[in-house]
């Protein structure tokens, strides 16, 4: 059986984790009372080594997600900086040409 749930993160979203041996992971999209949350746990008796392997895969996936967002932010910053520099250069050239 496949479960799919959709919600939209906002700046009040939270991530909580429970200590080993339960080692739960809870994601809540926002602090709104109606927000969905997702809680993941391991089956009883799963060896700690296997839990660690799963946690490493989850961490790697979240890191890729975060890095993709960071790259987009950097591209936007770079484009904004280049546009600002171009506008400054245009203003400088206009001033040098006598404001034409």
Residue ranges per structural domain of the chain: 1-41, 43-100
- 80 has pLDDT over 90: no
How far, in Å, CA of 78 to CA of 74, rounded? 6
Can you say how many angstroms the Cα of residue 84 is from the centroid of all Cα atoms in its chain?
A: 27
- In 3D space, the residue among 40, 30, 25 whose CA is nearest the CA of residue 7 turns out to be 30
The structure's pTM equals 0.71
What pLDDT does 55 receive? 96
pLDDT digits (tens, 9 = 90+) for 1-58: 787 778 889 999 999 999 998 899 999 999 998 888 899 999 999 999 999 999 999 9
What pLDDT does 99 receive? 58
- 100 has pLDDT over 70: no
- Top mean pLDDT of 49-58, 69-78, 84-93 is at 49-58
């Amino acid at each position: 059986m496949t479960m799919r749930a959709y919600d939209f993160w906002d700046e009040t979203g939270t991530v909580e984790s429970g200590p080993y041996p339960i080692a739960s992971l809870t994601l809540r999209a926002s602090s709104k009372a109606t927000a969905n949350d997702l809680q993941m746990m391991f089956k009883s008796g799963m060896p700690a080594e296997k839990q660690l392997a799963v946690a490493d895969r989850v961490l790697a996936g979240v890191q890729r997600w975060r890095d993709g967002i960071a790259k987009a932010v950097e591209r936007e910053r770079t484009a904004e900086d280049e546009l600002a520099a171009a506008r400054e250069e245009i203003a400088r050239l206009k001033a040098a040409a006598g404001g034409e």
